[in-house]
Amino acid sequence: MPYLALIFGMERGIYMELTSAMTHSIAKLSGIRLSDSEAAAMTRDLGGVVGYFDLLNELDTRDVPPRAHVLPLVNHWREDAVTPSAPRDELIANAPVRRDGYVVAPKTFEGGGSS
């Protein structure tokens, strides 16, 4: 199955139609609490965005080989040479709370993030 089709399920003709349940699921994953009226508005707005992307499905891509990237670039890499890091105070200046050069976050425990 072509690469992108595998991801988006296009091969099976599955096009995205945003439902209220999906909006709630995205909000949960994003750590955002939505009221029912906000969720309804969000479903409408996001649905418009997703629908806009459906325009792509109208293109005839039968003769376009599957590819993973839009640019004709491969192996864009650099040598393993250290460059100076940026000044800490500037980098973390936008964090709402800082202490001793750390960014302060709400209480969390180590290793709870990824798989």
* Rounded least distance, CB 28 to another protein, Å: 9
- Per-residue CA distances from 58 to 1, 51, 110 (Å): 20, 12, 46
Which residue's CB is nearer to another protein, number 9 or number 51? 9
For 78, counting Cβ atoms within 10 Å of its Cβ (0-12 exposed, 13-18 middle, 19+ buried), the class is exposed
Q: Is 98 helix (H, G, I), strand (E, B) or coil?
A: strand
Closest separation in Å from C-beta 88 to another protein: 5
Q: With respect to another protein, which residue has the nearer C-beta, 37 or 114?
A: 114
Q: How far is the CB of 11 from another protein (least distance, A)?
A: 14
Taking the CA atoms of 28, 34, 38 and 40 in sequence, report the sign of the dihedral they define.
Answer: positive
* Cα–Cα distance for residue pair 43/40, rounded to 1 Å: 5
Question: Could you list the residues that contact another protein (CB under 8 A)?
Answer: 3-4, 6-7, 29-31, 68-71, 73-83, 85-86, 88, 91-92, 97, 99-115
Residue whose CB is less far from another protein, 37 or 83: 83
